[in-house]
Amino acid sequence: MKAAVLFEPKKPLEIRDVTVDKPGPHEVLIRTVACGVCRSDLHFVDGAYPTPLPAIPGHEAAGIVEAVGDEVRTVKVGDAVVTCLSAFCGHCEFCVTGHMSLCISSDTKRPRDAAPRLSLNGEPVNQMLNLSAYAEMMLVHEHACVAIDPEMPLDRAALLGCAVTTGAGAVFNASPVTPGETVCVVGCGGIGLAAVNAAKIAGAGKIIALDPVPEKRALAEKLGATHSFDAMAESTIPEVVELTKGGVHHAIEAVGREASAQTAVKVLRRGGTATILGMMPLGSQVGLSALDLLGSKKLQGGLMGGNRFPVDIPRLVDFYMRGLLDLDTIIADRMPIERINDAFDELRKGDAARSVITFG
């Protein structure tokens, strides 16, 4: 099958003919239909985060089930599915206490001495984030995908695999919004726009979007932001605080930079919560001051929006089908896998919302 392989950081991905194995007892073989291009991939491609190579990135995908292992009960051949990198074992402490997005059990991977899921000329190729979705086929653990309504368009469904589950998860799970509460979203890429849209669905009062790019602020307003400001302007933080009469209840950072994380903390009201979704460069730090702590402000990570994806993703599909979740606006461009390196260049420029790789 055709796949985009990363051999060396900071080098373009190469399209190669990769071999995918047959499904093991708990595995699912999926024909990839679409895969969103997420900034987290760029961190690995650009070498900001180490990862064993060669590897196939891509972790925001939807497709059709081609084959399943003997023990698979959750999906069947022909099902439309969305994959999620939050593969969960189902029996560790995180899983049984409802925090399955924190599961790090190796039970969802193949044992080290087993045949690899992916190989190139007989040598193993690393599966990134349990998925490796920049490929015509994905071979994943059954707890890394969920069946969805077959009416759902799969290029839009792909975004549910990472950006939307993460952005909406911040609003629904990690820092639950009560109707009328105020929300400030820092960064209006795929994740931030999903958070804005979810805040509207949750009935938030003021929804304030911050981004340096005017086009992205306009998208945020289309998706439900009641106000938007240039994230880089010095006047922005005091304006947000004044507009919300003392700061927001929920600040959501969706960029992955120290400065934007600090902005999320600075726009909080007393008792407010800042949730950092962005993947910051290794070694980054963000914190609360003595006065922030006296004001009972809270700062937390929000890995993958604290999702329970087998429940969350079908609900997000329903929101889309009912016209509440606007995935059409979040997608900026669709392109074939041959243009994956162009998609990364777009992301480095930072102007567009979300590119989606589609497989013909």
Q: Exactly one of 26, 43, 141, 227 is catalytic; name it.
A: 43
Using the rule CB under 5 A, is 210 a contact of Zn ion? no
CA distance 325 to 315: 10
27-36 and 137-141 strand pairing: antiparallel
Q: What is the torsional sign of CA 339, 341, 346, 352?
A: positive
Candidate ranges 92-100, 118-126, 235-243, 257-265; the one touching Zn ion (CB under 5 A): 92-100
Residue 169: which of 56, 254, 272 has the closest Cα? 254
**DSSP one-letter string for 185-247:** EE--SHHHHHHHHHHHHTT-S-EEEE-S-HHHHHHHHHHT-SEEE-TT-TTHHHHHHHHTTS-
- Using CB under 5 A as the binding criterion, the count of chain residues that bind Zn ion stands at 9
Active-site residue flag, 162? yes
Candidate ranges 73-81, 99-107, 126-134, 223-231; the one touching Zn ion (CB under 5 A): 99-107
Q: By three-state DSSP, how is residue 309 classified?
A: helix
Using the rule CB under 5 A, is 92 a contact of Zn ion? yes
Q: Exactly one of 89, 95, 103, 162 is catalytic; name it.
A: 162
Of the candidate residues 5, 61, 81, 103, the single one contacting Zn ion (CB under 5 A): 103
Using the rule CB under 5 A, is 40 a contact of Zn ion? yes
Of the candidate residues 6, 34, 38, 240, the single one contacting Zn ion (CB under 5 A): 38
Q: Exactly one of 26, 35, 40, 145 is catalytic; name it.
A: 40
Q: Check: CB of residue 316 under 8 Å from CB of residue 152.
A: no
Closest distance between Zn ion and the C-beta of residue 166, in Å? 7
Active-site residue flag, 143? no
Active-site residue flag, 26? no
Closest distance between Zn ion and the C-beta of residue 347, in Å? 11
Active-site residue flag, 95? no
Residue 314: which of 148, 99, 80 has the closest Cα? 148
CA distance 241 to 267: 6
> Considering beta carbons, is residue 128 or 251 the nearer one to Zn ion?
128
> Considering beta carbons, is residue 88 or 359 the nearer one to Zn ion?
88
- What CA–CA distances, in Å, run from 24 to 126, 214, 261? 17, 48, 42
Active-site residue flag, 86? no
CA distance 31 to 64: 5
Q: What does DSSP assign to residue 305?
A: G
Of the candidate residues 72, 162, 170, 208, the single one contacting Zn ion (CB under 5 A): 162
For Zn ion, the binding residues (CB under 5 A) are 38, 40, 88-89, 92, 95, 103, 105, 162
Question: Known catalytic residues?
Answer: 38, 40, 43, 59, 162
